[in-house]
Structure formats: C-alpha cells, structure tokens
Amino acid sequence: MKLRLMTCAMVASTALFALDPVISDNVYGVMRISDTTTSNTVVAVPWVGVDGNAVTLSNLVSTVTLQENDIVYLYEGTTWYAYKLLESGVWDPVTTIGESTFEQATVADKKALARGSALILQRGSTSYPVYLCGRDTDAAVSTEILPNTLMLIANPTTEPKAMPVGHEGDEIRVPLNGGGLQIYTIKDGKWGTEVVTKTQGSRPRTVRTWTEGCTLAPGKGAWYKSGATGITVNW
C-alpha cells in the first residue's frame, strides 16, 4: 500500500491582494489498495468528503485506472445497490446485471458513504491498481456488527489492523486473489486460520496447521459472520 498525503494550502499574494496568506490545514489523501489482482475486491471507505462529512461514491473511487462496465456493489443492511462505470467515467446506478436485480440507487455524486463502511469493486481487468481519494482524518470510527448477521467490514485506516476477537462461532471471510475465501475463526480466544499443506515423498500426506492472527491491510475489507452475539469493532 502506498499512501500519498497532500497538504493543501491556499496562499493569496500580499503584493496582489494586500491580504495575509490563508493556509488550510486540511490533508487530502490518495490510497493505493494493495492486492487487488482479484476481480472482486472488498475495499474500505477510509476518507471523508471535502466538507468533513461522508464522502460520495463518485469522489471516493478513482476511475483513472478502471474500465467501462466495471461495477461497484454496495450492501447496506439487507439491500444491495449497484453502479456501473460508463465510458464517460461516471458511475451509473443500475437495477439489473445479468440475472441479478438491485434496488434503485442514488446517483453517485450524491451517494454518501460513511467512513468505515465497505464496498465491492468488480473489474473486468486487474492489470492496474485501485485508488481511493478523499480527505484524511484520524477521528475514531467503529463498525457495529449485529447478531446473526453477515456484514461487509473494512479497515478504514492507513495502517494494518489486527481484528479484535469476537465470539466463538464468528467468522471472517477474506476474498482471495483468483477467487475463493480465506476463513478465519476463533480458537482459544484468538483469531486464526487453518493452513493445509501436503508433504513430498513416496507417501505424501496432508498436514493441517493452525496459524494465529487476522489482520486487514489498509483500505481492504472482508465479510464478518457473527453468531448469537454482536460486536463493535473499534478501528
């Protein structure tokens, strides 16, 4: 992940305008999301808008490295929304993709995305990276995961974050490059995953190893499946 922060300053020339310089301490960022070679990438909303409120979809996802017909999927509660990228570079809300139907969405330049939420970006070509844009903030943010729920979560910070331990029976499902999911579960009060390897030789055998830990990279997301008890993730 590469992060470039730009301190934006507006300086009026005292010679021309006879005014003292006006300097803004707002910091704007461009985040390059790592490991986006999978066609379906779960990405975070790590920024806010220029005014400090929720960033809009049209401002968050840079279309410079994307292609016509790439799709953004939003999952809010129990409702799916979809946006398709037009040749003009505009995200167009759509209600039908193939045999799937979606709710009618707000136009992209008015669709506000709360920091800490997540979206799925489906691309036809994975040759180029994904960039997210917005105004940086270090304000605390949390994600509430309801009981018996499957939710999209994402790391909305610029640092790798270890997932806080939830409850026995919870799962974190991280999409893998090339398809499939890496499943993390809780064992002895710690997140971990089972790694399966095969030994070499005349009698190869399957070895299953439990590896502790579950960390989400900056700007990356996953599915969280909760059990009977919910959890609040404080990023």
Residue with tokens 């909760």: 226
- Which of 35-44, 143-152, 226-235 has the weakest average pLDDT? 35-44
Pull the structure tokens for residue 60.
């968050």
* pTM of the complete model: 0.76
Mean pLDDT (whole number) for 190-205: 82
Region of 98 on the Ramachandran plot (φ > 0 left; ψ -120 to 50 alpha; else beta):
left
Q: What is the pLDDT of residues 138-174, one digit of tens each?
A: 888 888 888 998 888 888 888 899 998 889 899 999 8
Q: Spell out the residues 6+ positions from residue 120 whose beta carbon is closer than 8 angstroms to its own.
A: 40, 41, 42, 43, 72, 73, 74, 75, 152
pLDDT band at 113, cuts 50/70/90? very high
What is the predicted pLDDT for the residue at 35? 60
Name the nearest CA neighbour of 134 among 27, 217, 34, 43: 27
pLDDT of residue 41: 82
Could you tell me the residue ranges of all domains in the chain? 2-234
pLDDT of residue 25: 59
